[in-house]
Amino acid sequence: MSSEKVVETQAAERVRWGDEEQARGRRDSRSRPQSRSGSRESLAIRSIHSRGQVDPSLTLPIQYRTVSFQIEESKAKDRVEAVKAASSAAKDLSDLEWHTITPEEVAKRLTTTPDSGLSGDQVRRRQQEYGRNAPSPPKTNRTLTIFGYFFKGFGGILLVGSILVFVSWKPLGEPAPALANLALAIVLLAVFFIQAAFAMFQDWSTSRVMASIKDMLPEQCQVVRDSNVVSVPAEELVPGDVVHIKSGNKLPADVRFIQISSDAKFDRSVLTGESRPVAATVKNTDVNYLETHNIGLQGTHCIIGSGVGIVVATGDRTVFGRIAVLTSEPKTKMTTLEREVLYFVLFICAIMFAMIIVVLVVWGAWLRRDHPDFISVSALIVSCVSVAVAFIPEGLPIAITAGLTITANMMKKNMILCKSLKTVETLGSVSVICSDKTGTLTQGKMTLTDCSIGTDNVTVKDLKEKMASSEKGNALGPFGQLGALAALCNAAELDAAQADVSIDKRNIFGDATDSAVLRFSESLSPGNVGYFRGCWQRVFELAFNSKNKFMIRCFNIARREALNQTLHADAAASFGENDLLFTMKGAPDVLLGRCTQYLTPSGVLADIDEHVSATLEHVKNIYSSQGKRCLLLARKVIPAGMVKAAPETVEYEQEMMVHAKTGLTLVGLVAIVDPLRPEIRDVVSTLRGAGIRIAMVTGDFALTALAISREAGIVTCVNVDGVANLERYADAGSPSVSDEADELKDNSSPFSRGAIVISGPELTTLNEHQWHLLTEYEEIVFARTTPEQKLRIVREFQNNNVVAMTGDGVNDAPSLKAADVGISMGSGSDIAMEAADMVLLDTFSSVVMAVQYGRVVFDNLKKVIAYLLPAGSFSEFWPVITNVVFGLPQILSSFLMIIICCFTDCAAATILSFEKPEADVLLRRPRNVKKDRLVNWQLIFQAYGIIGMTETITSFAMSYWYLQRSGILFKDLWFGFGVVPDYVDPDYYNQKLTEASSIYFVNLVVMQWFNLMATRTRRLSIFQHPPLFNKETQNLYLFPSILFALAMAFLWLYPPAIQEVIVTSAVPVEYWFLPFAFGIYIILIDEARRFWVRKYPKGWVARAAW
């Protein structure tokens, strides 16, 4: 088919469809009557196989041969899998004919009608036959999954260590193999399986949390059933359902369009990767099922317009489902946090391997030659395994997953839904929030408060009182005509089921602006809307969109009695039977220049001159300065001979757009107020206290946006800059853009500029330097912005910031997707929630909680690492080094090293993930992702230089003091290399070394309890953040974890059977209590550090604080 013929076919088949039927809210499920036509249930819904098989390479268009389900570019292997899947799906789809037959034939084959839809019995039978409209779970490689449970963390090192220790027991340990080595090998193997089991449990637990989050956002769709339009979950759709589609909706199944508005377009990028929208039609445009425009594919979005379609495929039978079933599970990239943890693990592993090499070199080059009886090969292997296990924080992977899952669950309880755990970690570093106004900062409950005819302005309250006794709004002609135009040029619809409910409380289906205008029209006189819509027959509609900023509706007269109440006298008298009433509603700055006349308060028409234009502009500015949205309503009469094209063609739409450019009559201006959410001022204040800038991004006029931003607390400066304050070029000698950018990356410095308001048209004139200056402002308001400009704003901020974007409309979707964190309101459009990373189900104030938890995740992981390193790494490393290098006995046995790493410390480390936010978490500036690493030199200094050194020195002191008290002098052990002093019995010597090793172990276990308490807070005193008796700070799991560590210590030290196998001993009672004094020292020194940080936040102690 030639391109000319395709265009002709499209032009001939486009049908306008009224959106009274589709303008319903997502949450409304009230039925309304429909005209009913008969339908019969067929015995079965059958596939259509009238055509032979077609080679997929011929039927599948080029863009589908490289289909990809990831927004980002896939790897070559993933692309090959997708191509194979698409080709396989094309073989099945080549037999479908839904796109080649007429809408009437589609309805007949599926035994449905556009007016009646399916009956309840039909739906139940088809649900049994076809199942739920949900894709099958993605394929997973169970072998790889199970392998990952065992080896994804540190399992490989544990397994290799276990095998090596087994070998050191036998055969290397013969002729006298040590049972302790066998026990150590068994424990390592047990820990290997325990870690895998816990990883499996965490994966299952995380999956449950994320699944429950998704369940809280069920997709709803508007469906005709039993002659009523109802809202049903998308999973309950069946073939034959008649679905109503509007702008912002995601298609819940494959549908055949039977009615479509002239401007309807769909985004198929989820399937094709192409960003260009596809225009929808009713008739066939291509023989290929995938390429034709009269089929709507599941998962694609309606970005503009509206329509009606019949469901032809659900679940795995849709195009999306067929391909998804054949492709493997999507690969995920490493998140920022995972990368941070990887850097830390690589750092630790590098030290571990370096120390093992040192041990091997010292043993091979010196000890093996000069002291051959000191360390055997078997003992050397055990020592190397001990070093490896000592350095690796086995509890870290568990703590990371637990922390993210716990936080996601906490957010869910606060009605904050994160689609992925990645969102949780990113929130903590957000430094800029670009927020839409309507429905986000405001309540989205608009009310029309003022209206004007020419220079006559009146409040709606006064107007209602004057017109209370009028009939059909005719008593005050001009305002009555305004009410008529408000009813006609409107996409909202009154709920017919609430006809007996007062207009103030009556439900209205449609967006907030149209609903406010329609409520105004009906309030002038009950029945106003129904009367005028019954008198005028709509023939054309162009829906409002954020690019045009207006909507158009055209009508033929059905009952001439309404002419005098709709038009001024001369126009009503001359209106012909085939004339058109052309109506427009939109932004005054767009429509005012197209108006040549205006309706005066006396009801006659007058020309618009410069004086009138200035007066109207002044009225608009007054409304805007009061924070109100201003709309202009206009009309014109188009004689029948002026329109050449048929209403069902694209040429007709083009003619209407030409008529919209000039010759309009301005009927009136209306002002709409959308009150702020009551919590917004507090939210903005809190976020600013947390070092986060709030930039308002709205489509409203600059004066309106500034008034709202002042009320919200976003703008506090008295003097507000404009585009003229943005120098186009940097002054000579001033810092370059790159230098200033480097300074901005350090979030510690305040912003040098105050407040600015800038409009969308002005943004197009900015150069790179001006954009940089603009993003330096502390308080920013963007007005009259388009979706493309919102996207540009987000990307400019991302140069030096982590950006969150909030919004709920179709026009917000691109910027939501581009932002580091996209945040949608639960009442937003499908496409906005699809693009967002996080959905707020409650109020905008939830974003404060989200930022708080995002910071807590990072804080708690730092605490986990700071807790694990002192005893589980640093204090275990030195006994091995002093043994190998200085010839001292290994004062802490290898087995007890494993117990600390894998048992006594792991529980407490995981419990730190439950720590609640510190009180100052929202008083700090955001984390700089390029500088503030998870593990930096400050944390290493805290863990090794302060806590680790304290625990190591005191543990050595306790052990050697015990030996000294037992008659074994330290000077005789120094460089002893295993030689027993002459004055000591060998059995007594070995027994005392065993007891000294147990004392070292107990000292570490007890001091770690105090380290746990000290690590809970980074800046606040333990008394400001107590672990008990304060619901805001308490962590009741801490004490069970301490008891668990105590139980583990008793388990491995005191039972005689275990003592004999692993060579441990009971510890004298005083050595249980002496570590309490050392632990108190840790608390006191850390309290002093925190006090100094709080008192001198810019001092050297604060700079060295972790």
The H-assigned helical ranges of 68-178 are: 76-93, 103-109, 120-130, 142-151, 155-169
584/664 Cα distance (integer angstroms): 9
187/185 Cα distance (integer angstroms): 5
> Is 694 or 401 the better-scoring residue by pLDDT?
694
What pLDDT, on a 0 to 100 scale, did the predictor assign at position 914? Answer: 86
What pLDDT, on a 0 to 100 scale, did the predictor assign at position 93? Answer: 61
In terms of average pLDDT, the best of 201-215, 869-883, 977-991, 1068-1082 is: 1068-1082
What pLDDT, on a 0 to 100 scale, did the predictor assign at position 579? Answer: 92
Torsion angles phi and psi, residue 637, rounded to 5: -105, 125
Element (H, E) at 674: none
1034/1030 Cα distance (integer angstroms): 5
491, 19 Cβ separation under 8 angstroms? yes
Among 113-117, 143-147, 589-593, 872-876, the minimum mean pLDDT is found in 143-147
> Is 37 or 446 the better-scoring residue by pLDDT?
446
Element (H, E) at 785: none
511, 492 Cβ separation under 8 angstroms? yes
Q: For residue 842, is pLDDT > 80?
A: no
1004/687 Cα distance (integer angstroms): 41
> Is 496 or 664 the better-scoring residue by pLDDT?
664
What pLDDT, on a 0 to 100 scale, did the predictor assign at position 325? Answer: 53
DSSP structure class, residue 605:
E
Q: Give the residue-averaged pLDDT of 258-269.
A: 81
Q: For residue 892, is pLDDT > 80?
A: yes
The dihedral of CA 113, 115, 121, 123: what is its sign?
Answer: positive
Identity at 591, one-letter amino acid code: L
What pLDDT, on a 0 to 100 scale, did the predictor assign at position 507? Answer: 84
Confidence of residue 730 (pLDDT cuts 50, 70, 90): confident
Q: For residue 792, is pLDDT > 70?
A: yes
Confidence of residue 87 (pLDDT cuts 50, 70, 90): low
What pLDDT, on a 0 to 100 scale, did the predictor assign at position 470? Answer: 53
What pLDDT, on a 0 to 100 scale, did the predictor assign at position 191? Answer: 84
Q: How do residues 534-587 score in pLDDT, each as one tens digit?
A: 999 998 888 887 778 899 999 999 999 999 889 988 899 999 888 999 999 999
**Nearest CA to 606 among 706, 787, 456, 423?**
456
Percentage of the chain lying above the pLDDT 90 cut: 32
What pLDDT, on a 0 to 100 scale, did the predictor assign at position 1052? Answer: 93
Q: How do residues 92-108 score in pLDDT, each as one tens digit?
A: 566 678 888 889 999 99
Q: How do residues 463-478 score in pLDDT, each as one tens digit?
A: 877 766 555 444 457 8
175 preceded by cis ω (within 30°)? yes
Q: What is the mean pLDDT of the chain?
A: 81
Q: For residue 436, is pLDDT > 50?
A: yes
The dihedral of CA 468, 474, 480, 486: what is its sign?
Answer: positive
The dihedral of CA 745, 746, 747, 752: what is its sign?
Answer: negative
Which residues, including other chains, have CB under 8 Å from residue 31's CB and lie 6 or more apart? 228, 229, 230, 497
DSSP structure class, residue 629:
E
Q: Which domains does the chain have, with CATH numbers?
A: 25-138+217-326 (2.70.150.10), 337-412+851-1104 (1.20.1110.10), 416-442+676-841 (3.40.50.1000), 449-672 (3.40.1110.10)
932/929 Cα distance (integer angstroms): 6
Which two three-digit tokens encode residue 537? Answer: 């027959």
C-alpha pair distances (Å), 786 with each of 126, 146, 483, 700, 762: 44, 49, 30, 10, 12
Q: How do residues 648-681 score in pLDDT, each as one tens digit?
A: 777 888 899 999 999 999 999 999 998 988 889 9
CA angle 1040, 1019, 1032 (to 5 degrees): 50
Among 546-555, 585-594, 1033-1042, the minimum mean pLDDT is found in 546-555
